[in-house]
Structure 1
Amino acid sequence: MVVKSSSRYLAGAVRWLEESDGQLHVGMVLLPGLPKSAAIRPSETTRSDATYTDVVLLPAMLALKAPISLLLPIGWFRMGRQCELWNGTSMVKIKLLTLLERGSDFERVYFTELIL
């Protein structure tokens, strides 16, 4: 879910829905970081022709002790998977490390940049 807060957009996840007296109530949690558009593809040699998948990059938030993370489509995460990430300004090689959270339509994952 995307929420607009003043001039910024924030990413969030719906935790619960409740209908009472004809009104819908939604409980959600905002994910840390200001979301940025990015694109990713596996970098395995057998998949060199793989197309890019749109993802959301969430920068680290030191004040919340939240690491840099990506929102990937369900089923995309594999621990240790190496990928190419286009972050809007440059291409970086990354390694997916940990599944932080799974929503109904996303996986939030921690990754590290590979030094080549």
Structure 2
Amino acid sequence: KIKGRNNYSVVINITVDKYAHFSNITPELIEKEIFGEVEYFIMHKHNELERIFAYVRKIDKYEEDNYGLIYFNKFGGFQFIEIIGIDRCVGFFKIENLYYILDREKI
């Protein structure tokens, strides 16, 4: 039984197709920064190649307030992310029904 646990709040850099939802449009790849909370890490070995993945609960939608602070009100779905995509750690804190993100690069 796990007695203690630390979920890491992170910023992840991923490349996505801007027009992924449209089948007849030429793909346009853009870099996107997403926030999430790591649930756990796993190591996967295939053909003598080891890779480490993080299982992350993503934040789908976030906004910026009048003071430049980033906030969100709910977590989104889960996704496996290769750890090389994790850029940095951030902090989450809750005030009433909103979660604020402390990111040193945004201060």
- Whether TM exceeds 0.5 here: the answer is no
User: TM-score, with normalisation over the residues of structure 1?
Assistant: 0.31
Greater RCO between the two (CA within 8 Å, min separation 6)? Answer: 2
User: TM-score, with normalisation over the residues of structure 2?
Assistant: 0.33
